[in-house]
Amino acid sequence: MPIVLTLIAFVSGLRGSAAWETVLGYFNRTPFAIADPVFGRDLAFFVFELPFWRMLHGWALALVGACSTAGRWPSSPPPWR
């Protein structure tokens, strides 16, 4: 089980490090002072914030899925065998 969790952590780290520009853009965002006509948000939200939140959501969803799959990994046979 620890090998599987180490693999999950390694893959999650690789996926997170591939999106460093998105994270950097989120933390160093500046407003454009132009509002979107449909949603009324500043355009910087769609350029800097939305990609970060989408990346974070996808990363968390993949992490939960991988950990739930690893939790079902058979480390020992079931007691009814």
What pLDDT, on a 0 to 100 scale, did the predictor assign at position 73? 61
Give 34-42 contacts, CB < 8 A, sequence gap 24+: none
So what's the pLDDT on residue 76? 57
pLDDT in tens, the chain (81 residues): 678 778 878 887 887 788 889 999 999 999 999 999 999 999 999 999 999 999 999 888 988 887 787 766 666 566 665
pLDDT value of residue 44: 95
Q: Please report where in the chains the tokens 């690789």 appear, as a residue.
A: 14
d(CA 80, CA 49): 51
Sign of the alpha-carbon dihedral angle for 64, 69, 72, 76: negative
Q: Are 10 and 2 in contact (CB under 8 A)?
A: no
pTM of the model: 0.72
